[in-house]
Amino acid sequence: MMRHVFVLLIFCAALLGCAVAPAQERRPIAWDGLGRDPNKSLNRAPVAKRRAPVPAPAASDPNQERERVLGTLRPYSEAWWAVYDAIEAERDKQLGTKLVICPSCVQPPPQGEDVTGSIR
């Protein structure tokens, strides 16, 4: 019985050691909005509020008119596919302007070699 109590005390001490954080590693506490905010202390500088980026005006989106036209066409007809492909091409173009890949990270394909999928 005494052995079980000793093991329980050791276990509780280990959990207590994990639960107590050092003073220099204070992190924000989740606050429910009731009472005083524990994250605000008198010696901290006020945190500047971030503003959400202003979305671009809808008129600059070339796909807006295409999507309206796409809704009027018969689904999966040749005209529908042409408009759909134009929308997807514009989305790929927009993504290409946002996507940045460092030149040293991408290896160019080998020149002059016949590259196959075989494993040798």
Residue recorded with tokens 């954080």:
21
* pTM, full prediction: 0.39
Q: How far is CA 8 from CA 17, 19, 20, 21, in A?
A: 14, 17, 19, 22
Query: Which tokens hold the place of 64?
Result: 């807006």
Residue 103 has pLDDT above 70, yes or no: no
The DSSP 8-state label assigned to residue 99 in this structure reads -
3-state SS, residue 5: helix
Question: What pLDDT, in 10s, does the model give residues 46-67?
Answer: 555 666 666 655 556 788 999 9
Give the pLDDT mean for 59-84: 89
Cα separation, 97 vs 91, in Å, equals 10
Q: Pick the residue with more confidence: 5 or 26?
A: 5
Residue type, 53: P
- How would you classify residue 112: left for phi > 0, otherwise alpha for psi between -120 and 50, otherwise beta? left
> pLDDT at position 42, please?
47
Mean pLDDT in the chain?
A: 76
Weakest-pLDDT range from 41-45, 77-81, 84-88, 113-117: 41-45
